[in-house]
Amino acid sequence: MGTFRKGEVKIRPGVYHRYENSGGSRVAEARNGIGAGLIRAKWGPLNKAVEMDAVSDVNAVFGSGMTEDLITEMFDGGISSGKFVRIGSGGSAPSIVLKTEDDTDAVTVTGAYVGSRPFSVSVRESITGGNKEFTIYEGAVAVISVNFAIAEDEVAGLVEAINGATKEFGAKAAAGASGKIAIIAQEAMTGGMDPDVDTTDYSRGLSVLEAAAFNCLAVDSDDVAVHALVNAFLTRTYTAGAYPMACVAENKDIDLDTRISHAAAYNNEMMHVVLNPAYSVGGKLAEGYRLAARIAGMIASVASNASLTHRIVSGYEAVAEPLTNTQIEKALKNGCIVLTENAGSQVWIEQGINTLVTPGAEQDEGFKKIRRVKTRFELMQRIDDTLEVLIGKVNNDTDGRAALIASAQAVIDLMASEGKLIPGGTFGEDPKQVSEGDYAYFIIAVDDIDSIEKVYLDYQFRFSQTS
């Protein structure tokens, strides 16, 4: 006989139907523990996001000796995965020309990436006989090793073996080359040069990450000009629908008050500045980008129902720049993450805050806290992801909007059960707006939860008791 709206009473007898979402749609999970970073390296693809997890071999992908340790710091901070971009422009790839036994050019082997990563090459007869073994080393470690058959003409066999075994190096036969490949012992590949890096390259690297989903970003620079690019990137990508955060730090040779003023100038709930350095186990100074990367990993990985306030920084043994109470209070008022030591001499984060000092007209004081921003970003992300699959699938009528409401309400209720929101939050239609055509308006009314960070104890003692 037709359809009915919820609560409607029909005049004619008959069977009427409607549909609603009873909570069976997928409720999006939180995306947490995802890092991102820009690095300089001696190896690896340029200006492309490389996805890594906790078991990835950073040095195998990017080499060593530059700022690839940013990645390790972020994983030590707690991230479970991340997307990292090697930045730069120019440079040249290492190569070597292999000769035949009669000293003519036979095969040119060239690295797939530009950079100064030090490789050497050996060609020898296999101990098992019948084959020769081609090996590329970094130091004493074999990076790749292939076998090719001993023959009167070994050129084609070697080229095929190398190109079939790896994408990190390419082999090409010299024109008209033939014969046996000459034996060599760890002969250096030459010509590899690292790319140049300037602020333009950081800007390009940030653009690569615009489409990436991550929780917190770190860059391998202590330069405030680069940090300003990061701050602008956060605002730009948030406006485009992402929920990014970033963490930076300057070196302690910069005047303390200058560092504090730089932090306050960002005034951005997505931007975090670590003020003072620490010593990691073994007495190594952690400052600048390494310090920022470690704390960025902690920000990215902390659950939104937990706080970083008084969270111990694993692997740090002492604060390298202890601050007075007056300095600490000034830094906190200006949006700095300050490292202090607890009663057990462990290094911890004094308070989990961001650089938002003066909230905007549409912001409350809760946007100053890392925990509450993470909760709010998580709520928005999970509702976005949950409703996205319904866009274009339901009608813009009472029943269709009810389906959207039910799906979003399920997210709110689930986050309340996870201790991230106070129970009772709602998702409903905006009574002041007309939903028509292909657009609809809703209001989300929720209360997020903060952690107890200040405890006031009023002890009342008496010298004597009177009866």
pLDDT above 80 (res 422): yes
- 12-31: per-residue pLDDT in tens? 665 554 544 444 567 888 89
Q: Is the pLDDT of residue 164 over 70?
A: yes
pLDDT at 19: 47
- Confidence label for 8 from pLDDT (cuts 50, 70 and 90): low
User: Does residue 178 sit within a domain?
Assistant: yes
The one-letter amino acid at 239:
T
Tell me what pLDDT residue 18 has: 54
Say what the pLDDT of residue 129 is: 81
Which of the listed residues 133, 165, 188 is the one where a domain comes to its end? 188
With respect to residue 368, please indicate whether it lies within any of the assigned structural domains: no
- Find the mean pLDDT for residues 151-171: 96
Question: For residue 113, which of 60, 43, 171 has the smallest C-alpha distance?
Answer: 43
222 with 289, same domain: the answer is yes
- 376 in any annotated domain: no
Q: Are residues 401 and 442 in the same domain?
A: yes
Q: Is residue 411 part of a domain?
A: yes
**Rounded mean pLDDT of 192-205?**
98
Closest CA to 94 of 20, 192, 209: 192
Cβ–Cβ under 8 Å, residues 359 and 368: yes
Residues 250-277: what's their mean pLDDT?
Answer: 98
Number of domains in the chain: 3
- 117 & 236 share domain: no
- The stretch 126-133 carries a mean pLDDT of 89
Q: What CATH number should be reported for the domain holding residue 174?
A: 2.60.40
- What pLDDT, on the 0 to 100 scale, is given for residue 456? 80
CA dihedral sign of residues 259, 260, 261, 262 = positive
Domain identity same for 424 and 454: yes
CA trace torsion 77, 83, 89, 93 (10° rounding): 90
Residue 440, pLDDT above cutoff 80: yes
Report pLDDT digits (tens) over 64-77: 999 999 999 999 99
- 281 and 403, same domain (yes or no): no
Query: What angle in degrees, to the nearest 10, is found between the helix axes of 325-333 and 256-266?
Result: 20
Is residue 371 in a domain? no
CA 450/CA 421 separation, integer angstroms: 9
Q: Which two tokens stand for residue 467?
A: 């009866």
Mind listing the pLDDT tens digit for each residue in 82-114? 999 999 999 999 999 999 999 999 999 999 999
Determine the pLDDT at residue 28.
84
Same domain, 204 and 66: yes
Rounded to 10 degrees, what is the CA torsion of 367, 373, 376, 379? 170
The full 3-state SS of the chain, as one line of letters, equals CEECCCCCCCCCCCCEECCCCCCCCCCCCCCCCEEEEEECCCCCCECCEEEEECCCCHHHHHCCCCCCHHHHHHHHHCCCEEEEEECCECCECCEEEEEECCCCEEEEEEECCCCCCCCEEEEEECCCCCEEEEEEEECCEEEEEEEEECCCCCHHHHHHHHHHHCCCEEEEECCCCCCCECCEEEEECECCECCECCHHHHHHHHHHHHHCCCCEEEECCCCHHHHHHHHHHHHHHHHCCCCCCEEEECCCCCCHHHHHHHHHHHCCCCEEEECCCEEECCCEEECHHHHHHHHHHHHHHCCCCCCCCCCECCCEEEECCCCCHHHHHHHHHCCEECEEECCCCCEEECCCECCCCCCCCCCCHHHHEHHHHHHHHHHHHHHHHHHHCCCCCCCCCHHHHHHHHHHHHHHHHHHHHCCCECCCCEEEECCCCCCECCECCEEEECCECCCCCCCCCCCCCCCCCCC
**Of 318, 349, 380, which residue constitutes the final position of a domain?**
349
Strand partners, 299: none
Whether residues 260 and 156 fall in one domain: no
Nearest residue to 301 (alpha-carbon basis) of 72, 452, 52, 82 = 82
Owning domain of residue 339: 38-76+197-349
Query: CB of 349 within 8 A of CB of 313?
Result: yes
Residue 242 domain-assigned? Answer: yes
- pLDDT at position 68: 98
Average pLDDT over residues 343-369: 96
Cβ–Cβ under 8 Å, residues 233 and 219: no
Same domain, 269 and 148: no
Distance CA 50, CA 36 (A): 10
Contact 202, 96 (CB under 8 A): no
Instruction: Name the pLDDT band for 185 (thresholds 50, 70, 90).
Output: very high
How high is the mean pLDDT of the chain? Answer: 93
Please say which residue of 349, 372, 403 terminates a domain.
Answer: 349
Distance of CA 343 to the CA centre of its chain: 32
Do 61 and 39 touch, CB atoms closer than 8 A?
Answer: no
Q: How far apart are CA 280 and CA 400, in angstroms?
A: 56
- Mark whether 210 and 310 lie in a shared domain: yes
Both 177 and 282 in one domain: the answer is: no
455 and 397, same structural domain?
Answer: yes
Query: What's the CA gap between 219 and 84, in Å, rounded?
Result: 10
Whether 418 is covered by a domain: the verdict is: yes
394: nearest Cα among 404, 383, 405: 404
Query: Are residues 252 and 332 both part of a single domain?
Result: yes
Residue 374 resides in a domain: no
